[in-house]
């Protein structure tokens, strides 16, 4: 009874009071382009306006500037370095094409990755694209069933992979997969009570994406860019091995000559980190662009700003370019460390060292938790940046303060879409890595006669599938993240502009009346 009374009081308060500014100043509503007092929220234009505003008018940034410019410059320098390494390596590979081979079986090289591996990565790209597109299509058509299917597919696929590895006497890898499946089963069981609320938020994001902006166009273009980047990285990876691997390698004497294991390792480290940074930047740029569309829908459902998609993209590529680069850098470092841990775990498993395999698996889990924390903060910070043009650290701090003060963290914890999409991307990554493992088993390339390259190739195949799927699914998660950020900033707008959504949220998760508070 007391709980129902508190909910009723909360709802009554929402309907009677304007939302106070968490930074100490009252809101001032009026015409577009009339900002409130210093430190107040940007004006959302609740006055009566017939003509639709432009995105930059609806979400005006006072004194716009290029935030975190140094990070943007550093990002461009790394991109230039990647282009240089790629050009030199591919030229060395192309000059010795006959030695590297033109198909799966005709290579004479036994000192490093060659055309055989390049064909493998092409197969991985195709699998990643098909699976990622099918996964997004599944989310659009069957939002509620999507969550169940994701959990069940991951459990079944992990179990089948473990059984296959054990049947081939690859015991360390099979045991690791069995532990992973046990964890998945436990996690999925704990998720079941939260599925109705998560399905509602997913359905809302999908409905908005079908009617507002150019969400799926951005998703398709982003997926194509991600695929092109993965293809470029795959060719560069193989070319580095082909150009700089020591031994009987005629490419060592051509161009930027000199071959050594140290040079190969150093260049692989650099291009892998660069690939992570570029792909994270691409993903976050898409996220920021889509956030502008959903923010426009949240605050202006009946008067959507003109050019919301273009305006948000333009801001992401100009004033917020450095901030997106900076946030992407942190995630790239963490993902790179996780990749190293994955390669080490695969290597220990190949040598039959179960203790070492389990230790690196635990370390990988800890790094994954750190990655989750940073990704969690980034998602909401970039949604905030999309609408208000803040610098990265200022946006991260203010977003976290708002989320905690408003109680939106309870809603975020209740929503499973982020973990579900991560699980889906992991599924695609495991599909491509399993393909790589089977490919090496059946084609038996000369460079992998002793199995020493199996951990490397499998790990990079996983990376390709994971990153491509992550970028394909960004628009889905971006919409939900933006709704949470906008609700933290102005919960009154949720009740006023979207009463049906608010009532549906109350039905599936009654605590929302207490969680969304001023």
Give the residue from 235, 244, 239, 230 showing the smallest Cα distance to 100: 239
Give the Cα separation of 440 and 437 in Å (integer).
5
Report whether 160 contacts 174 (CB < 8 A): no
Coil, strand or helix at 397: helix
User: Could you count the other beta carbons within 10 Å of the beta carbon of residue 446?
Assistant: 14
Beta bridge partners of 54: 306
**Residue at 192 is within a domain:** yes
Instruction: Quote the pLDDT of residue 113.
Output: 59
Reported as a single tens digit per residue, the pLDDT across 219-249 is 888 888 888 898 898 889 888 887 887 765 6
Instruction: Quote the pLDDT of residue 315.
Output: 92
Instruction: Quote the pLDDT of residue 37.
Output: 33
Instruction: Quote the pLDDT of residue 30.
Output: 31
Reported as a single tens digit per residue, the pLDDT across 270-294 is 999 999 999 999 999 999 999 999 9
The parent domain of residue 56 ranges over: 40-95+118-489
Cα of 506 vs its chain's centroid, Å: 29
Cα of 256 vs its chain's centroid, Å: 36
Residue 54 phi/psi, 5-degree rounding, is -80, 160
Instruction: Quote the pLDDT of residue 112.
Output: 52
Give the Cα separation of 3 and 8 in Å (integer).
9
**Residue at 18 is within a domain:** no
Reported as a single tens digit per residue, the pLDDT across 91-118 is 877 776 655 555 555 454 544 556 777 7
**Residue at 63 is within a domain:** yes
Report the number of distinct structural domains present in the chain: 1
Contacts of 513 (CB under 8 A, 6+ apart): 6, 7, 8, 10, 11, 506
Cα of 104 vs its chain's centroid, Å: 33
**Residue at 213 is within a domain:** yes
Which parts of the chain sit beneath pLDDT 70?
1-50, 64, 96-114, 170, 172-173, 247-251, 253-257, 350, 515-518
Instruction: Quote the pLDDT of residue 289.
Output: 93
**Residue at 429 is within a domain:** yes
**Residue at 112 is within a domain:** no
**Residue at 515 is within a domain:** no
pTM, full prediction: 0.77
**What is the sign, positive or negative, of the torsion defined by CA atoms of 479, 206, 404, 333?**
negative
Q: What is the mean pLDDT of the chain?
A: 79
DSSP state of 251: G
Instruction: Quote the pLDDT of residue 116.
Output: 76
**Residue at 450 is within a domain:** yes
């Amino acid at each position: 009874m007391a709980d129902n009374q508190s909910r009723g009081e909360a709802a009554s308060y929402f309907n009677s009071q304007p939302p106070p500014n968490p930074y100490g100043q009252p809101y001032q509503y009026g015409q577009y382009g009339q900002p409130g007092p210093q430190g107040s929220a940007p004006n959302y234009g609740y006055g009566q306006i017939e003509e639709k505003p432009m995105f930059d008018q609806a979400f005006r940034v006072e004194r716009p500037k290029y935030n975190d410019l140094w990070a943007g410059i550093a990002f461009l320098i790394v991109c230039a370095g990647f282009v240089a390494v790629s050009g030199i390596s591919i030229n060395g590979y192309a000059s010795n094409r006959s030695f590297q081979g033109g198909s799966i079986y005709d290579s004479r090289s036994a000192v490093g990755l060659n055309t055989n591996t390049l064909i493998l990565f092409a197969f991985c790209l195709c699998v990643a694209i098909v699976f990622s597109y099918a996964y997004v299509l599944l989310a659009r058509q069957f939002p509620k069933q999507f969550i169940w299917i994701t959990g069940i597919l991951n459990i079944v696929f992990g179990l089948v992979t473990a059984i296959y590895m054990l049947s081939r006497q690859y015991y360390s890898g099979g045991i690791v997969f069995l532990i992973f499946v046990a964890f998945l089963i436990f996690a999925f069981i704990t998720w079941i009570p939260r599925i109705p609320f998560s399905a509602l938020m997913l359905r809302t994001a999908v409905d908005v994406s079908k009617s507002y902006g150019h969400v799926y166009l951005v998703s398709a273009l982003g997926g194509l860019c991600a695929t092109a980047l993965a293809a470029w990285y795959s060719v560069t990876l193989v070319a580095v091995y082909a150009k700089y691997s020591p031994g009987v390698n005629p490419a060592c004497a051509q161009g930027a000559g000199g071959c050594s294991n140290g040079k190969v390792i150093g260049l692989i480290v650099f291009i892998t980190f660069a690939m992570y940074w570029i792909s994270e930047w691409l993903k976050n740029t898409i996220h920021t662009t889509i956030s502008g569309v959903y923010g426009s829908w949240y605050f202006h459902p009946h008067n959507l700003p003109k050019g919301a998609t273009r305006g948000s993209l333009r801001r992401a590529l100009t004033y917020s370019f450095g901030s997106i680069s900076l946030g992407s850098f942190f995630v790239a470092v963490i993902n790179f460390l996780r990749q190293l841990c994955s390669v080490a775990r695969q290597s220990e498993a190949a040598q039959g060292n179960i203790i070492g395999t389990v230790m690196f698996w635990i370390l990988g889990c800890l790094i994954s938790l750190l990655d989750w924390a940073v990704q969690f903060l980034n998602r909401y910070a970039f949604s905030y940046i999309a609408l208000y043009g803040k610098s990265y650290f200022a946006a991260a701090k203010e977003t976290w303060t708002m989320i905690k003060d408003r109680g939106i963290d309870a809603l975020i914890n209740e929503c499973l879409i982020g973990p579900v999409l991560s699980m889906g991307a992991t599924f695609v990554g495991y599909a491509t890595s399993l393909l790589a493992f089977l490919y090496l088993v059946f084609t038996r390339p000369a460079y992998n006669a002793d199995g020493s390259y199996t951990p490397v190739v499998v790990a990079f195949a996983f990376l390709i599938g994971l990153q491509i799927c992550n970028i394909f699914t960004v628009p889905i998660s971006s919409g939900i993240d933006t709704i949470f950020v906008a609700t933290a900033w102005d919960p009154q707008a949720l009740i006023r502009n979207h009463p049906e959504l608010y009532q549906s949220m109350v039905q599936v998760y009654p605590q929302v009346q207490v969680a969304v508070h001023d």
